[in-house]
Amino acid sequence: MIRCLDCNSTLTKEETACFTCGATVKLVSAQMVFGERFASFLKFAFLGSGVLTIASLFFDATPSFAKCLTTTVVLLFVRSSAEQMLERKKG
Ligand SMILES: [Zn+2]
């Protein structure tokens, strides 16, 4: 049985939008949950890498600025392509 995430009313499998509140029914597959977790991991990795990049300008203890910057840029690309993939899956 599927329940609407917004108003908690019962929905049939065929319904793509909630009859009561009109919210779109999200069919959450295991693959999509994994994808979303991966995307949020990438987000944190990207933010951490960004912070490290800035920190590397001021501190010697961090990896070199070029290394940090490369990692940040790579993570940015991976993140945006992962998000695009997720968007496509959602349709
Ligand atoms: Zn609803």
Of 3 and 91, the structure prediction assigns the larger pLDDT to 3
The residue among 75 and 23 whose pLDDT is bigger is 75
The environment of the single-atom ion ligand 1, i.e. residues with CB closer than 5 A, is: 4, 6-7, 18, 20-21, 23
Distance CA 79, CA 69 (A): 15
pLDDT on residue 15? 78
Tens of pLDDT, residue by residue over 68-91, are: 999 999 999 999 898 888 788 765
User: What was the pLDDT predicted at 90?
Assistant: 64
Q: Is the entire prediction scored with pTM above 0.85?
A: no
Distance 29 CA to ligand 1 centre (A): 19
Among residues 7, 30, 4, which one has the least CA distance to residue 17?
Answer: 4
State the distance from the centre of ligand 1 to the C-alpha of 40, rounded, in angstroms.
Answer: 26
pLDDT at 64 over 80: yes
Instruction: State the distance from the centre of ligand 1 to the C-alpha of 6, rounded, in angstroms.
Output: 5
